[in-house]
């Protein structure tokens, strides 16, 4: 019996979910708060419900780039938009 048949017949093995081939976007439950620190503005982001929770600290440019990932642009289009709108090459 080959491995493919074993995986098909086994009830104990969970196959990983298939990822969609859609453009990347921010997590729909992402919570972001603006915070002023001594060296400038930062954005604190968290995806609630994660085990463990996923926390992110972003500067203004990083947050602006993140917002370009809207689920409609491909990574190449995001790179072009970042260069055009923000003057950042990624």
Does 86 sit behind a cis peptide bond, omega within 30 degrees of 0 on the bond before it?
no
| pLDDT tens sequence across 40-86 | 999 999 988 878 888 999 999 999 999 999 999 999 999 999 999 99
pTM of the model: 0.72
Report in angstroms the alpha-carbon separations of 42 from 29, 35, 62, 76, 82: 19, 5, 9, 26, 19
Q: Name every residue whose Cβ is closer than 8 Å to that of residue 73 and which is 6 or more positions away in sequence.
A: 23, 81
Query: Structural domain boundaries of the chain?
Result: 20-86
């Amino acid at each position: 019996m080959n491995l493919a048949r074993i995986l098909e017949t086994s009830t104990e093995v969970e196959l990983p979910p298939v990822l969609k081939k859609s453009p990347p976007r921010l997590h729909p439950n992402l919570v972001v708060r603006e915070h002023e620190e001594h060296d400038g503005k930062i954005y604190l982001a968290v995806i609630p419900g994660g085990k463990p929770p996923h926390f992110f600290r972003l500067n203004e440019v990083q947050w602006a780039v993140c917002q370009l990932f809207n689920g409609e642009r491909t990574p190449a289009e995001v790179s072009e938009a970042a260069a055009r709108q923000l003057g950042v090459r990624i």
